[in-house]
Structure formats: C-alpha cells, structure tokens
C-alpha cells in the first residue's frame, strides 16, 4: 500500500546535505518505516530567482507543498534538516491533527521573563521583544496575535495549506539578518490569524539552544564584549571545549534527547549531533 504521508526538508549546500545524510537520514528512515512516511530531502533551491538568492533559504519551506511530489500525499510533515527523532518513544506526529489544520508546537518562551532576560544577554544582537505582540509588531506586523511557534516542525496538508504558504513566500520580504528569524514571524502570524494552527505535543520541537539557556546556562560561553581580541576569544573557546565541560554537555544533551520526541539542533550544531546516543541510556552511560 502506498504511503499517504511524507517527511520533507531542504538541505542546500554540500556541508548541510552531508550532515543530513550522516546524522538525520538513518534516524528519519527509522521513524518513517515505523509510521509509514516517505522521505524527501530537497538538495536544490525551489526558487532560483534573484529575489530568492538575496534572502534566507529558510523561506523556501513555504514552497514545499508546491512541489510535484507533494500532491501525492495527504500529509507533508516539514522537519528542519537539523532535527533528530527519539525513535525510542516518539509517536506518529500526525495523529490527532485535523487534516485542515497545521500541527505545530507552541513556543512558550514569552511566559518566562527570567529566561528572556538571560537570552538577550547571551544574544546581544537579538531583537528585543518581551511579548508575542511585540514579537510581531517590531517586525512591522499588527500586534494582535498572542502566540507563536517555531516552524522547524509543521504537519501540513497540500490540499489545505499550499495557498497560504505561497502567500507568505511571495507577499513578504526578508526583514534583515538572522535576528529577525527569517520567515518565522510572517508565517506564524498568517497561520495563527487564519485559525489554522493545531497545537501538538511540545516534545516534537525541543530547541537545544533555548533549553541550554533555560536549564544549562553554565554550558554556554559568555558573550564576547565588543573589541575583544581574537587571541582572548580563542582562549574562551578552548576553556569551553575542555574535556570536563564536554562531558557535562554530553550528559545534558542526552538528557534532553531522551526526554524529547524531536531535538532541534538549530544552526546545524554538528558537534552536538555527534554526541547523541539514540538508544535509551542509563545515567552512567551518558557520561562515557
């Protein structure tokens, strides 16, 4: 019987595609075989126009439902190419999501003021916003939306969601650098205002970087002041990468992985992906 569900991603460039092939493809195939998903990793841009070349490739996830293969499926699950499944416990992500809704994980970081203050200290280049309304209004959108999500994981339907995703792609422009989160703000806003979002289990999109800040801030290097010389910068990096701290990082990382369904290594953090033990582990295993 032909599968009616597929997992899709984009990995453009030799490095990103090689990393996906090495760390994600075997992991995703295990998940797909378990629940009946075909896999598609798109290696070439879906839009090669001058406009597309001047903005982040992340926008092109909005075109995935426009591809020829997508029409053959009831569901397309979009997964960023730097995410790994915990196949020991992750259920079928599509179960319980109505066909006409977009399954996504609600981001609750704005409900934790202490986290936000710590995050903005660690990301001095970040756009400061302390509420979901500010998250949209600082971008230039109406500040009338009180929720948002990370679109690295979405359960989509070509039948119901192709038009609105294409609207976001063609009718919005890149705001600036990574600090503006590329397509995330307009995509979240449009889907939420249209009433199309169905919240799924938060364990389907655990973002490593956020969890480090919230739970393991001692694992992150301090922000470098402006003008810090390269020699001192390298010294900080050497300390951070020391064997004892690496052991702590591996323990924290695998604790997060074992308690998640999908762990999101935002930014293709290859070193951390190499640390993942994909089988259930005893506490002393993750220290070795």
Q: Which domain holds residue 181?
A: 5-287
| Predicted model pTM | 0.88
How wide is the angle at C-alpha 168 spanned by C-alphas 167 and 170, nearest 5°? Answer: 65
pLDDT in tens, 37-54: 999 999 999 999 999 999
- Angle, helices 184-193 vs 158-171, to 10°: value is 130
CA dist., res. 221 & res. 245, Å (int): 11
Q: Which residues contact 202 (CB under 8 A, 6 or more apart)?
A: 105, 106, 108
pLDDT in tens, 164-206: 999 999 999 998 888 899 999 999 999 999 999 999 999 999 9
Locate 155 and state its tokens. Answer: 């359960």
Compute how many other C-beta atoms are within 10 angstroms of the C-beta atom of residue 169.
20
Tell me, what CATH number does 193's domain have?
3.90.550.10
pLDDT beyond 50 at 286: no
Q: How many domains does the chain have?
A: 1
């Amino acid at each position: 019987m032909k599968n009616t569900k597929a997992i899709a991603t984009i990995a453009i460039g030799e490095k990103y595609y090689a990393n996906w092939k090495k760390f994600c493809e075997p992991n995703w195939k295990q998940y797909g075989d378990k629940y009946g998903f075909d896999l598609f990793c798109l290696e070439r841009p879906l839009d090669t126009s001058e406009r597309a070349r001047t903005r982040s490739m992340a926008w092109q996830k909005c075109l995935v439902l426009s591809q020829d293969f997508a029409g053959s499926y009831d569901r397309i699950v979009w997964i960023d190419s730097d995410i790994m499944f915990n196949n020991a416990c992750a259920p079928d992500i599509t179960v319980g999501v109505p066909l006409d809704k977009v399954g996504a994980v609600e981001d609750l970081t704005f409900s934790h003021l202490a986290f936000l203050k710590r995050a903005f200290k660690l990301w001095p280049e970040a756009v400061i916003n302390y509420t979901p309304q500010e998250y949209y209004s600082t971008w230039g959108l109406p500040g009338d939306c009180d929720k948002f999500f990370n679109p690295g994981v979405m359960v989509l339907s070509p039948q119901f969601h192709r038009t609105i995703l294409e609207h976001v792609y063609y009718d919005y422009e890149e705001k600036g650098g990574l600090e503006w989160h590329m397509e995330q703000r307009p995509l979240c806003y449009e889907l939420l205002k249209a009433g199309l979002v169905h919240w799924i289990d938060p364990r389907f999109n655990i973002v490593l970087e956020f969890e480090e800040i919230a739970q393991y801030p001692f694992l992150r290097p301090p922000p470098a002041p402006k003008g810090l010389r390269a020699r001192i910068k390298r010294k900080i990096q050497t300390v951070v990468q020391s064997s004892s701290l690496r052991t702590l990082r591996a323990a924290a990382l695998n604790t997060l992985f074992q308690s998640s369904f999908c762990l999101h290594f935002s930014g293709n953090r290859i070193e951390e992906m190499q640390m993942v033990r994909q089988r259930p582990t005893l506490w002393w295993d993750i220290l070795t």
